[in-house]
Structure 1
Amino acid sequence: MAVHLPVPQPSSGLCAKPQQQRGNASTAAAAVATPPSTFAPQTTRLSAPTIALNIRHTTTPAAPPVVVMTERVAKKQNEETTATLASMWREIQGARDWAGLVEPLHPLLRAEIVRYGELVAATYKAFDLDACSKRYLNCKYGKARMLEAVGMAGAGYDVTRYIYAAPDIALPGAAGPCPSRWIGYVAVASDETARRLGRRDVVVSFRGTVTGSEWVANMMSSLEQARFDPADPRPDVKVESGFLSVYTSDDATCRFTYGSCRNQLLSEVTRLISKYKHEEMSITLAGHSMGSSLALLLGYDLAELGLNCDGCGDTVPITVYSFAGPRVGNTGFKNRCDELGVKVLRVVNVNDPITKLPGIFLNENFFGAGRLELPWSCACYTHVGVELALDFFKARDPACVHDLDAYIGLLKCPNKVAVVKNDGEHVLSKAMKFVLQHSFDTWRWQMAAIQVGELVQAIGL
């Protein structure tokens, strides 16, 4: 018997906070008829070549009736899907650590992962790698038309601010520290999207490593105290020094903005929380590779400072969607994120070496460092959150294992990952070619050698 969920009537305040307790979302989730899935039901590791199929077949009648999908029927089905997402958005955002949603992967969660992944992919499509352009290493388009220009006019978000960042690193031959470059954007859900999602969603989207200084920052794998809250510095909370440098360094010469990446983000996110404080809200931070590290640092920063509290005293949930993200901090950092309720869903390819860095040897699996309080625990890198493991590898193009489009393509069509293609070269291939075109002399190779042991171990050679 089909169970139809009632469509909640939006209040005059769009996603205004309800006066009475919300219904049990897990019951709503159980009532949704799960469509056929190509994901293996007993594991979260999805492998394109050997993926197990879980497809239900129905007997085809001898003379099947012709069903015309009228606009009225299509609208009704869309309303039922909308009602489902709006009623269980907290679970989709990790309120219960995605219990029962990852294994097997729930279709609503899969759709949301793809949606946020595409918002991250927009940062690559809009990033200008043309050395002859006046917007070189910045965004090609203005805020008002950026999403439309990259083919996402129907995304349902309004970009409110661009974010710029640069690590405090001086490359050989440069006059000073590297200038700030466009690294992402802040956007807020439109009224229509807010009604569909069941809340006003604030999204911060980060791209991954592209410039030479960013590659160098990735190699700075020493742990450093975060100290985001001056009143409570928490010396046990440590993060990778390179990511911290990108997040906190200030470039006074940047012509597009002022302040560090951190200051830009805290200012804009708190402004939006204040603007929509009378509505149900969520903060969603998404990034690829290095961008996922910045997303996690921002999520921890907001929660540690208590900036995710609206004017009514309620806590706005923070969710991080990490695509191909490396480790960011030590066990103390991981434990503090858990205490603060920062929810992290890590989408990783098991063949991607970047997801195993830094900390190939000193990590959560090193002699129980992630389970026991041992003397060396504070020096061990530890992943944060829940992992959704994919399994794909394209032998003729090793860069594919880290490519964001390949991640999204597998989630969309897990049985066709072998034919996932980009418009031209893979994004990572373009970025690596860009870096190699810039001569850093022997210094670049010396820095790369620091990580060669970890890379060899990660790739499994």
Structure 2
Amino acid sequence: MASKSLPNVINNCCMNLYKFPLINPLNTISHEKLHSFRPNVTKKICCCTVTITSLPSSLSSVRVCNNSASLPLNWRDVQGLNNWENLIQPLNPLLQGEIIRYGKFVTACYDAFDLNPNSKRYLNCKHNKNRMFLEVGWGDCGYAVTKYVYVTANISIPIQNGGSCARWVGYIAVSSDEEVKRIGRRDILVTFRGTVTYQEWIANLMSSLSPARLDPNDPKPDIMVEAGFLNLYTSSETNNRFGLGSCREQLLSEISRLLRKYKNEELSITLAGHSMGSSLALLLAYDIAEIGLKPPSVPLTVFSFAGPRVGNIHFKERCEELGVKVLRIVNANDPITKLPGVIFNESLNTWRSACYAHVGIELVLDCLKSYEDETSGIMIDTRVTKVVNMMELFKIEDILCVHDMQTYIEMIKNCPRRSRIRRKGVDLIKKLKEMNTTSVAWKYVAITWVVLLTMVV
């Protein structure tokens, strides 16, 4: 059933979407494997290089202590107050621990998502919000879920289950009193999972840029974002008697309530997501800052895992102007992070409104196939970085390995504290393929983004 968007949002439909065949991954994935798309990853799977890009010119010389007990004193720096200067190369253990922690909150979205078509909770969370963390095996995380978040799309396609097309996409949680003592502030956390349903797949194909227009008092038509992500963020089911409001309405309402409730405490707002979820997190962060929902003293940070580009260069610049802090955790071998805008992106100086651009500071995890020339002692990187075989790039097994959320967490866990580690013959994709036990689920990621790639000029 089609649904309406907020009146102040312009949604551009993707051309000829109906010509693409609709794929139901549930027809090919065994029910026993539906609950998890993650390969069985063991420790020490790779070595990494950590690099930083888009670093602002004026930064302080803050240096965060490596001791985890120092988090209450240094949490603002870990949340990006100084754009993570001196914390990324080499990766500071305190920041490393926080990235892993927020990554686990995102992983909980996947663990709690019900993909069993015979279940009454199909395409919703399997557990009550009061028990969700306990049920996924993380009862001592120090947070309590306050609200579940649902997403829908204004796209007329066959509905997967029942009359509503809203699907559970994540949750909002708040740190407990005990956790406040450990981390140094009351943390309002929002997490999002990645793409699963029909409508989400098709929304991902809507690669045209559309004006965000999230602030009704100042629409700023030059600030544009990917139409599909905007559609998911703003579409609602208000024409349905029992339908939900838009993802945006749900999020802003609950965050506003929590900000009022804890207004006399030291607060932070942390948004974390994987793949499509990181795009929703960035849209939410921009929205919160643009409409002035939070006080200026409350830090707003996005931890983006495997995120694609979301908006144009004007969107990037506006996020920076508003003080939105974004740490992009990227596997260098993950093609999803290079989309959309393979050609027209931030590297071009012309057509700025039509060019996609990444937002924030980039933490690149890179598995090097390198060796040391014993005669000269020079480190030689044997990867081909400029000429990419697209058929190799989009192999189904590779997508399964390099885009997976658990792979990202394991790479962060094993990221060296030096900027580069010398190790011979390491090939992440090959290594993960050997450990992989299922290769069906991410087939649909590969198919979706191959089609998307052909649509982005």
TM-score, normalised to structure 2's length? 0.73
Are 2:308 and 1:332 equivalent residues in the alignment? no
Number of the residue aligned with 1:358 = 340
Q: Does 1:377 align with 2:362?
A: no
CA distance in 2, matches of 1:238, 1:185: 26
Per-residue deviation, 1:451:
2.3
2 CA distance for matches of 1:254 and 1:106? 49
The Cα of 1:423 is off from its aligned counterpart by: 10
1:319 alignment counterpart:
301
User: What do residues 292-334 of structure 1 show as CA deviations (whole Å, max 9, x unaligned)?
Assistant: 000000000000011012xxxx531100000000000001100
Partners of 1:170 and 1:178 within 8 A in 2: no
Paired residue for 1:412? 413
CA contact (8 A) 2:229 2:280 kept: yes
Tell me, yes or no, if the aligned pair for 1:39 and 1:104 is still in contact at 8 Å. no
Q: 1:396 to 1:207 in 2, by over 3 A?
A: closer
- Displacement of 1:291 in angstroms is 0.2
CA contact (8 A) 1:211 1:431 kept: no
- CA offsets per residue over residues 4-41 of structure 1, 9 Å max, x none? xxxxxxxxxxxxxxxxxxxxxxxxxxxxxxxxxx977x
Structure 2 equivalent of residue 347 of structure 1: 329
The alpha-carbon deviation at position 431 of structure 1 amounts to 5.9
Return the letter of the residue paired with 2:340. Answer: P
What is the aligned partner in structure 2 of residue 400 from structure 1? 401
Write the mapping of 1:195-344 to structure 2, written as runs, cut at 5 A: 195-252=181-238, 258-309=244-295, 314-344=296-326
Quote the Cα distance in structure 2 between the aligned partners of 1:197 and 1:448.
Answer: 38
Rounded Cα–Cα distance in structure 1 between residues aligned with 2:97 and 2:254 = 27
The answer to whether the aligner puts 1:391 opposite 2:366 as a matched pair is yes
Q: Secondary structure at the match of 1:282?
A: strand
The whole-number CA distance in structure 2 between the counterparts of 1:130 and 1:294 is 25
Q: Could you tell me how far apart the structure 2 residues matched to 1:89 and 1:230 are?
A: 34
1:143 aligns with 2:118: no
| Residues 1:432 and 1:99: Cα distance change in structure 2 (over 3 Å) | same
How far is the alpha carbon of 1:223 from its aligned partner?
Answer: 0.4
Q: Which amino acid in the other structure matches residue 44 of structure 1?
A: T
Pairwise CA RMSD: 3.2
| CA distance in structure 2 between the partners assigned to 1:147 and 1:245 by the alignment | 29
Letter in 2 for 1:189: S
- Alignment CA distance shift 1:144-1:382 (3 Å): same
Instruction: Give the gaps of 5 or more residues in structure 2.
Output: 1-45, 53-65, 369-392, 417-425
Change (3 A) 1:159 1:175: closer
Secondary structure, in 3 states, of the residue corresponding to 1:139? coil
Task: Give the Cα–Cα distance (whole angstroms) in 2 for the partners of residues 290 and 448 of structure 1.
Answer: 12
Distance 1:409 1:209 in 2: 21
Tell me the distance in 2 between the aligned counterparts of 1:233 and 1:150: 41
The C-alpha deviation readout for 1:120-166, integer Å capped at 9, x for no partner, is 00000000110000000110000000011111111110000000001
Pair 1:242–1:396, CA change in 2 (3 A): closer
Corresponding position of 2:141: 155
Question: 2:333, 2:163 → 1: CA distance?
Answer: 34
How far apart, CA to CA, are the structure 2 residues paired with 1:234 and 1:241? 16
Indicate the larger mover: 112-121 or 406-415: 406-415
The structural deviation recorded for 1:257 is 6.8
CA distance in 2, matches of 1:124, 1:377: 36
Any conservation in 1 of the 2:303–2:327 contact (CA below 8 Å)?
Answer: yes
RCO (CA 8 Å, sep 6+): is it higher in 1 or 2?
A: 2
- In 1, Cα distance between the equivalents of 2:435 and 2:136? 13
Assess if the C-alpha contact under 8 Å between 1:409 and 1:420 holds in 2. no
Query: What's 1:451 paired with?
Result: 452
Q: Is the 8 A contact 2:185 2:265 kept in 1?
A: yes
Which amino acid letter does the alignment assign opposite residue 198 of structure 2? G
Shift of 1:410: 1.0
**Cα offsets for 1:93-124 (capped at 9, x unmatched):** 00000000011100000000000000000000
Whether contact under 8 Å (2:234, 2:246) holds in the other structure is: yes
Deviations 1:423-443 (A, max 9, x none): 9647xx53656x99xxxxxxx
- Matches of 1:277 and 1:221, distance apart in 2: 39
Distance of 1:82 and 1:255 partners within structure 2: 50
Question: What is the CA-CA distance between 1:252 and the residue it aligns to?
Answer: 3.4
Unpaired stretches in structure 1, ≥5 consecutive residues: 1-37, 46-79, 369-373, 437-444
Q: Which residue of 2 aligns with 1:32?
A: none
For residue 414 of structure 1, report the CA deviation from its aligned partner. Answer: 4.0
- The residue that corresponds to 1:430 in the other structure is 441
Question: What's the offset of the Cα at 1:392?
Answer: 4.2
Is the contact made by 2:233 and 2:246 (CA closer than 8 Å) also made in structure 1? yes
d(CA) in 2 for partners of 1:159 and 1:423?
32
Q: What code does the residue aligned with 2:404 have?
A: D
Say if 1:159 and 1:44 are closer, same or farther in 2 by CA, change over 3 A. Answer: same
| Residues 358-392 of structure 1: per-residue CA shift (max 9 Å, x gap) | 111110012x3xxxxx4x10110000000000124
CA contact (8 A) 2:50 2:365 kept: no
The answer for the alignment partner of 1:186 in structure 2 is 172
Q: Give how far 1:183 is off.
A: 0.2
Match of 1:44 among 38, 51, 59: 51
* Partner residue, 1:99: 85
Shift of 1:251: 1.6
Deviation at 1:83, TM superposition (A): 3.9
Whole-angstrom distance in 2 between the partners of 1:256 and 1:176: 12
- 1:351 Cα deviation (Å)? 1.1
Q: Kindly tell me: are residues 179 and 298 of structure 1, through their superposed partners in 2, closer, same or farther at Cα, counting changes over 3 Å?
A: same
Asked if the contact 1:170/1:176 (under 8 Å) is kept, the reply is no
Secondary structure of the structure 1 residue equivalent to 2:130: helix
